Amino acid sequence: MTTIDFQQLSPEQKAELLKQASQEDLKAAVAAKDQQKDENRKAYKEMVNDAIPHFIQVIENASKMLSKVKFDIFDGLKFLLDQKAEAYSVKQGQQTHTFSDEKGNGITYGFRVNDGWDDTVNAGIDKIKEFLESLAKDENSAKLVTAINKLLKKDAKGNLKSSRVLELRQLAEEWKDEQFVDAVSIIEKAYKPVRSAFFIDAWHTNSAGKKIYYPLSISAAEFPEGTDIESLFPIEEAETPVEPNTEDVA
């Protein structure tokens, strides 16, 4: 029995073959195609179920390795930190510490702090707004309103920036208004910084005197030199937007 590859036939041959085929033959052909599709999809899902646990294991091992490296670096640098405190009579309670050698290698480690505020910060902001509404509408007060509104502008997370509160304090002291000074004091006392992740930044200095940082996150790490990214992860080219026709129409 000769097997015919339907996909290799010309449109005319396909039409002629369909004319000759019985209704039962057509149904059987469709059923066979659907079955093959189902089998292909089942095989794909089985491959996913086999492959993903392996990749997860590799990532888990890398994560555990980074965790151990992080501990070892902090633990090792603690000795240097103790020696530095003894040799130079410096305090250890600061947020970050940096060590560097004469060859241009260095490490900065510590923790970062995110701005945080308790609910009373809104009382301070409202009081400042009341103060602004009470100002006379002259040129100087208009400039003050503009400056204060810029300093009270919140970030994407809805928080004030702590660096701006000092500027608010300076403005309040210059203006010498009791309500304004009290409002800034309320904001300052509402500041509750939140300690975020402990970090390590490490670098070496190249021949041009530039610091080259070692990537310590999987996102920042480069692929090995010579990697063909296009074959590794196919990327479609973005369509070039069509420039609108700005010529005058006669």
42-93: per-residue pLDDT in tens?
999 999 999 999 999 999 999 999 989 999 999 988 889 889 888 988 776 7
Residue 120 scores a pLDDT above 50: yes
Closest CA to 147 of 122, 183, 172: 172
Res 240: pLDDT:
45
Determine the Cα angle at 38 with ends 36 and 44, to 5°: 105
Amino acid at 72: D
Over pLDDT 90: what percentage of the chain?
Answer: 30
The pLDDT tens digits of the residues spanning 180-196 come to: 999 999 999 999 988 87
Residue 25 scores a pLDDT above 70: no
DSSP, collapsed to helix, strand or coil, labels residue 107 as strand
Closest CA to 78 of 95, 59, 92, 68: 92
Distance CA 155, CA 117 (A): 13
Judge whether 127 and 183 are in contact, CB under 8 Å. yes
